[in-house]
Amino acid sequence: MVETPDGTRLICHPRGKKSQALVGDRVQWQASEDEGTIERVLPRKNLFYRQDEIRTKSFAANLDQVLILIAAEPEFSETQLTRALIAAGAERITPVIALNKSDLAVPFERASKRLEPYRRMGYRVLPMSLRADGGAGHGELTELLAGKVTLVLGPSGAGKSTLINLLVPGASALTGEISQALNSGKHTTTSTTWYWVDAERSTALIDSPGFQEFGLHHIEPMQLAHLMPDIAQEATACKFYNCSHLHEPGCGVIAQVESATQAGTISASRYRIYGELFAELSQTRY
């Protein structure tokens, strides 16, 4: 589906057997009688994607930011959050963490505490209570999105559909129309969709399918520390330039990991996630 400068949307077929175009791409296209042909995908400023052992899954291109929506309940996975933040960092895309369901006092306080290391690292964490009538944090979120292209990412149950329907009235109907036009029969949550939030078409939301796994096989193991701000900050003090931060003597990172007997700048859970990811990414190279 291609949108022209005047806002008209039409179906365009790729030139060749396989489509290289993604949601958010700028393309050169040529009109035919009732549809069109994509002649060329213009160079991208970034591409947000995940990659496992079998395949690469691209979400969208040319983003200004990624809104990672998690909730107090069901309990979010810190590993999945970290993976999404790393993928955004690798493409120099600004990530924002939105924590939904602030109305659930006890679980929200627990979840908010788990996000404290991320606040210390400089990530923006937005408390929210998404409801059909708006809810807490709605105004701040609207300001944050204004004039930008934002990919909304998050596990099922976090409130992604509520968020999209709140900001884009008629989103479900629009998605249905697009699916019907493409004759895809896809359910709303299985396809990535671009929505304009405002009549001026200056603010865009991209709704992506929920994910269970988020592979980072496109990241080199030794690149990992640079994409985790808390690890990167302490890595400058390492004795060896090629330190893996796992066992070397004189490692600045290991010296700063919190434990029962030691205060530190790196939480134990973050260091555990780093070790697991390093092992996973190292295995894929052999």
Annotated binding site for GTP: 100-103, 154-162
As annotated, the binding site includes 100-103, 154-162, 238, 243, 245, 251
Q: Are 194 and 174 in contact (CB under 8 A)?
A: no
As annotated, the binding site for Zn(2+) includes 238, 243, 245, 251
Q: Are 152 and 208 in contact (CB under 8 A)?
A: yes
Please confirm whether the linkage preceding 117 is cis (ω < 30° from 0): no
For residue 68, the cross-strand partners are: 97, 153
CA torsion sign, 266 to 267 to 273 to 279? positive
Residue 27 CB contacts under 8 Å (≥ 6 apart), including other chains: 2, 12, 21, 38, 39, 40, 41, 42
